[in-house]
């Protein structure tokens, strides 16, 4: 059965709620029976990650606080603990799924795991800023009727510098007839369709069998990767990686001959990151420069450039004004610089933290009266500086312009 499910006036949270009612049925019918098998896998230290997913997430996991949106019965989330996460919070709108996930965590003794009932499009606010990694497992995004609120929710959950990892079915796979022995288009489906539809087969078939044709509806939207990335970009996240994979993550085309497999995209992955620092509404910080006072300018410059491989960006000697700026190129987070200035200093040195922004006036507007500032002043080398002192007495310079 395929029919139009929603229009722009529909109440997205209410549709999500009904979809979760349908997943309650599927959880009781299917996943309850798989409980012991999942627990055995987890007790053995296993996880549920496919090689493609592992490649996306592996570097981010060690010691990470992970939130999984649409965590279903908890196998993915508990597997992420086995794969190196320090803690995991799973969020799912189906209370039955969350109940099963909690029972699974208890059965394997995973005290670092917790599970909450919540909508992925408006995840619990108590989790804001707590995730090093937000992970959405396979088969998640099609159940969402709107992506912008989801993107905003992900951005809320991530700490600055935290990453989202999406590994999802490719929407192109929705175009092919699953029963066909070759490549055949489903006549009623288009890649650019926007209307949510119920798809034939699992999981809808389970709900129909148990609850009959009048059971809860579970419409899907096969979001294109471009739409997913736009939702993330408009929520202020940076897209760091986008990959497509030929391997389907479930056996949805059992009758395809080998000549078809491997020639079409069946899954995709996205890694996106919340920018490291946002100067709270004043635009991103675009560089970090740390000034170190030293009694031996030549010595430290030689040390950092010859030994450490930093690049000398600038060096000057105007009589009393002597110094050098060394740049760290190819950093993950953008440009960072060390500035050395020769002064007589105590043996433990002196330092100021210098933060570069795109728009100093906007930064100062946002800062308002909340912290004393000296400046801004225009510096002879073409930058504008504002001076603050942090609570420990270290000078902080926020600047715009040249390093």
Ligand X SMILES: C[S@@+](CC[C@H](N)C(=O)[O-])C[C@H]1O[C@@H](n2cnc3c(N)ncnc32)[C@H](O)[C@@H]1O
The binding site for ligand X (CB under 6 A) comprises 16, 19-20, 23, 70, 72, 75-76, 92-94, 97, 119-121, 137-140, 143-144
Q: How far is the CB of 352 from ligand X (least distance, A)?
A: 46
Token pair listed for 89 = 């919070």
Q: How far is the CB of 245 from ligand X (least distance, A)?
A: 16
Which residue's CB is nearer to ligand X, number 93 or number 300? 93
* Nearest Cα residue to 206 out of 386, 384, 32, 388: 32
The CA distance from 189 to 182, in Å, is 17
Which residue's CB is nearer to ligand X, number 219 or number 225? 219
Which residue's CB is nearer to ligand X, number 49 or number 60? 49
End-to-end CA distance of the chain: 62
Residue 340, helix vs strand vs coil: strand
Cis peptide bond upstream of 203, omega within 30: yes
Q: How far is the CB of 274 from ligand X (least distance, A)?
A: 20
Which residue's CB is nearer to ligand X, number 171 or number 376? 171
Q: How far is the CB of 5 from ligand X (least distance, A)?
A: 14
Token pair listed for 52 = 């493609």
Q: How far is the CB of 187 from ligand X (least distance, A)?
A: 26
Cis peptide bond upstream of 376, omega within 30: yes
Q: Are 143 and 218 in contact (CB under 8 A)?
A: yes
Which residue's CB is nearer to ligand X, number 205 or number 278? 205
Q: How far is the CB of 90 from ligand X (least distance, A)?
A: 9
Identify the DSSP state of 31: I
Classify strands 311-318 and 238-245 as parallel, antiparallel or unpaired.
unpaired
Which residue's CB is nearer to ligand X, number 28 or number 384? 28
The CA distance from 153 to 120, in Å, is 7
């Amino acid at each position: 059965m395929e029919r139009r499910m929603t229009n722009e006036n529909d109440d997205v949270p209410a549709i999500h709620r009904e979809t979760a009612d349908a997943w309650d049925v599927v959880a009781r019918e299917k996943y309850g029976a798989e409980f012991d098998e999942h627990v055995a896998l987890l007790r053995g230290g296993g996880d549920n990650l496919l090689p493609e997913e592992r490649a996306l997430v592996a570097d981010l996991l060690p010691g990470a606080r992970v939130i999984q949106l649409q965590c279903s019965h908890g196998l993915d989330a508990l597997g992420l603990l086995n794969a190196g996460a320090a803690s995991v919070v799973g969020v799912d709108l189906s209370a039955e799924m969350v109940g099963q996930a909690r029972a699974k965590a208890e059965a394997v003794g995973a005290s670092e795991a917790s599970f909450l009932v919540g909508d992925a499009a408006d995840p619990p606010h108590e989790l804001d800023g707590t995730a090093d990694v937000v992970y959405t497992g396979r088969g998640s995004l099609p159940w969402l009727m709107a992506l912008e609120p989801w993107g905003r929710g992900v951005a809320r959950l991530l700490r600055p510098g935290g990453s989202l990892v999406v590994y999802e079915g490719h929407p192109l796979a929705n175009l092919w007839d699953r029963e066909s022995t070759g490549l055949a288009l489903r006549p009623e489906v288009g890649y650019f369709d926007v209307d949510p539809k119920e798809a034939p087969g699992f999981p809808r078939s389970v709900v129909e069998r148990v609850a009959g044709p009048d059971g809860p509806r579970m419409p899907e939207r096969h979001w294109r990767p471009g739409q997913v990335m736009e939702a993330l970009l408009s929520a202020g996240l940076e897209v760091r990686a986008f990959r497509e994979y030929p391997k389907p993550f479930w056996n949805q085309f059992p009758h395809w001959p080998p000549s078809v497999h491997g020639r079409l995209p069946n899954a995709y992955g996205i890694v996106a990151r919340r920018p490291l620092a946002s100067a709270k509404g004043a635009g991103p910080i675009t560089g970090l420069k740390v000034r170190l006072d030293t009694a031996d300018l030549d010595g430290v410059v030689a040390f950092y450039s010859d030994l450490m491989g930093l690049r000398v960006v600038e060096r000057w000697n105007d009589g009393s004004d002597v110094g050098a700026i060394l740049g760290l190129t190819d950093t993950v987070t953008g440009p960072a610089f060390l500035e050395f200035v020769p002064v007589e200093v105590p043996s433990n040195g002196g330092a100021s933290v210098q933060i570069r922004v795109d728009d100093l006036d906007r930064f100062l507007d946002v800062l308002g009266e909340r912290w004393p500032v000296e400046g801004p002043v225009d510096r002879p080398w073409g930058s504008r500086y504002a001076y603050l002192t942090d609570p420990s007495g270290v000078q902080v310079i926020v600047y715009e312009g040249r390093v």
